[in-house]
């Protein structure tokens, strides 16, 4: 019973400085994630689509690319659920009239109605209206990237699982720290890791495991869910874990992105020094 109480106290003590809750990685065929226009438009900006309090389909500018008139975080798309086709939801709302470097920068008065749907893995089809009052039809018949009235945006990253590329992982997970190398007389040492914002495919949630020996199973203190902030908010969050066990310390961190990818890194600290 004492061991159980200690474990509960330790779990309650684990802190993570994180923002509002968000869903985990998405399937390949999903409207959620980060999207870029096809090469034919000549534009290189990216739009991150999420489900928000204001509506079920919110697309915000994640990066401006070569379209300088866009503003980070501004709403590019805003739509509500309309129905479903082929087992995937359809949405209707507002959009710029076209998606090249000029059309993407339309004013509020130039925005038109639009309909949204995922026709295939890693594609988001956007069908804009021809005028401010026109209600466009959803093109469900044209093959991917061949619609005469719609534009098929492309997911910016692979949705495959796995550990992820190490150079990419270091953008999401970096700066492992221990508050002191000396052993405390009472209480735990604090271990921390910095979790970064990556505009192309933001992290949606993360997990941290701890252990002392390689032969021991990883302990999963707690699962935290949240969103790394935008660049204007500092671009990162710090997760901290109090750990009272003696001996070497090993930490394993994994992030799960909105696009469905996963990236992981590990850290090792020698035993703390007494005295």
- Among 140, 155, 170, which residue terminates a domain? 155
Shared-domain flag, residues 147 and 45: yes
Shared-domain flag, residues 39 and 150: yes
For residue 50, what pLDDT is reported? 79
Whether 250 is in a domain gets the answer yes
Shared-domain flag, residues 167 and 149: no
pLDDT by 10-residue block (mean), the chain, 275 residues: 41 35 50 89 89 72 86 89 92 93 84 94 94 92 95 72 60 91 82 86 83 78 62 75 85 81 88 79
Shared-domain flag, residues 133 and 236: no
Query: What CATH code is carried by the domain that includes residue 6?
Result: 2.60.40.730
Shared-domain flag, residues 171 and 236: yes
Task: Record the pTM.
Answer: 0.54
Whether 274 is in a domain gets the answer no
Shared-domain flag, residues 48 and 74: yes
For residue 233, what pLDDT is reported? 59
Shared-domain flag, residues 122 and 49: yes
* Range(s) of the domain holding residue 139: 33-155
What is the edge-to-edge ordering of all strands in the sheet holding 249-257? 219-225, 203-211, 249-257, 262-269
């Amino acid at each position: 019973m004492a061991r159980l109480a200690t474990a509960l106290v330790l779990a309650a003590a684990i802190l993570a400085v994180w923002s509002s809750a968000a869903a985990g990685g998405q399937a390949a065929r999903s409207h959620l994630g980060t999207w870029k226009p096809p090469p034919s438009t000549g534009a290189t900006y990216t739009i991150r689509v999420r489900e928000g309090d204001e509506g079920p389909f919110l697309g915000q500018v994640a990066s401006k690319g070569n379209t300088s008139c866009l503003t980070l975080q501004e709403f590019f798309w805003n739509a509500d659920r309309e129905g479903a086709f082929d087992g995937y939801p359809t949405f209707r709302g507002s959009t710029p009239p076209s998606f090249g470097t000029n059309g993407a920068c339309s004013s509020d008065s130039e925005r038109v109605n639009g309909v949204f749907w995922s026709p295939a893995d890693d594609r988001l089809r956007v069908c804009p209206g021809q005028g401010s009052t026109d209600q466009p039809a959803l093109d469900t018949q044209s093959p991917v990237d061949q619609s005469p009235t719609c534009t098929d945006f492309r997911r910016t990253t692979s949705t495959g699982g796995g550990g992820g590329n190490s150079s990419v992982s270091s953008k999401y997970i970096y700066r492992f720290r221990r508050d002191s190398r000396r052993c405390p007389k009472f209480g735990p040492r604090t271990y921390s890791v910095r979790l970064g914002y990556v505009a192309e495919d933001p992290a949606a949630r993360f997990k941290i495991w701890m252990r002392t020996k390689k032969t021991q199973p990883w302990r999963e203190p707690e699962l935290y869910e949240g969103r790394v902030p935008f660049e204007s908010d500092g671009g990162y969050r710090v997760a901290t874990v109090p750990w009272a066990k003696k001996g070497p310390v090993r930490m394993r961190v994994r992030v799960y992105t909105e696009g469905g990818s996963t990236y992981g890194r590990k850290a090792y600290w020698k035993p703390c020094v007494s005295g």
